[in-house]
């Protein structure tokens, strides 16, 4: 393969790098427009339920890590506890999330999805997975690896901790 994919005009022989400001600007806009697409489908579903993205995020990560504590969720989501609490209160009241006092430490609340919560989670994530599946299929396996590699590099280091604690073990 060429080491210069179809990306750069490179008229000035000076730069071996394919990272012109224009290339970077395209990457920036790609993030902007793609993120909009990425959230569009769940947003529509949430609206029917009177929820917002904040509810989606909470539900997603409770589903991913059942029994997680509020504090843990706080550090993943990066919002204040007051902000999270407002969201959490509504989903608990609405019977989507179960908040159980900790056994070892009774100050902690452990969060679990109820059946209704799990049902909404499936609905939301199926919509989101569907779009991602289509994008992955259309772009191909190599592109998917590249996509993940770049995004991983773009995260703040502290966030990488939360990005799939399980993940591919070593590496």
Partner DNA sequence: ATTTTAAGTCAGCCTTGTTGACTTTCCAAG
Partner DNA sequence: CTTGGAAAGTCAACAAGGCTGACTTAAAAT
Give the one residue of 3, 5, 107, 170 binding DNA; rule: CB under 7 A: 107
Residue 27 interacts with DNA (CB under 7 A)?
A: no
- What is 82-116 written as a DSSP string? HHHHHHHHHHHHTTSEEEEE-SS-TT-EEEEE-HH
Least distance to its own copies from the beta carbon of 66, Å? 14
What number of chain residues touch DNA (CB under 7 A)?
A: 31
Give the one residue of 52, 66, 67, 78 binding its own copies; rule: CB under 8 A: 78
Residue 44 interacts with its own copies (CB under 8 A)?
A: no
Residue 101 interacts with DNA (CB under 7 A)?
A: yes
Q: What residue 55 binds from DNA, its own copies, none (CB within 5 to 8 A, per partner kind)?
A: DNA
Maximum Cα interatomic distance, the chain, rounded to a whole number of Å: 66
Residue 149 interacts with its own copies (CB under 8 A)?
A: yes
Residue 136 interacts with its own copies (CB under 8 A)?
A: yes
Element (H, E) at 68: strand 68-69
Q: What residue 169 binds from DNA, its own copies, none (CB within 5 to 8 A, per partner kind)?
A: none
Q: Which stretch binds DNA (CB under 7 A): 2-10, 102-110, 117-125, 158-166?
A: 102-110
Instruction: Kindly state the DSSP code that residue 47 receives in the 8-state scheme.
Output: H
User: Which of 91, 45, 42 minimizes the C-alpha distance to 70?
Assistant: 91
User: Which of 23, 28, 31, 29 minimizes the C-alpha distance to 5?
Assistant: 23
- Cα separation values, 9 from 5, 20, 138, 150, Å: 11, 9, 25, 21
158 and 77 in contact (C-beta within 8 Å)? Answer: no
Q: Which stretch binds its own copies (CB under 8 A): 43-51, 67-75, 94-102, 163-171?
A: 163-171
């Amino acid at each position: 393969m060429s080491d210069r994919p179809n990306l750069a005009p490179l008229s000035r022989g000076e730069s071996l790098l394919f990272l012109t400001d224009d290339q970077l600007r395209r990457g920036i806009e790609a993030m902007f427009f793609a993120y909009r697409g990425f959230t569009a489908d769940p947003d529509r579903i949430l609206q029917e339920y009177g929820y917002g993205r904040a509810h989606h995020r909470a539900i997603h990560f409770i589903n991913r890590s059942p029994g997680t504590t509020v504090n843990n969720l706080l550090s993943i989501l990066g919002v204040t506890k007051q902000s999270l609490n407002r969201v959490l209160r509504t989903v608990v009241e609405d019977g989507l999330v179960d908040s159980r006092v900790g056994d070892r430490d009774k100050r902690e609340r452990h969060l679990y999805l109820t059946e209704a919560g799990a049902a909404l989670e499936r609905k939301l994530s199926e919509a989101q997975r569907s779009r991602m599946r289509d994008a992955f299929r259309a772009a191909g396996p190599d592109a998917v690896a590249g996509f993940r590699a770049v995004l991983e590099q773009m995260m703040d280091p502290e966030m990488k901790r939360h990005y799939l604690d399980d993940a591919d073990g070593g590496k």
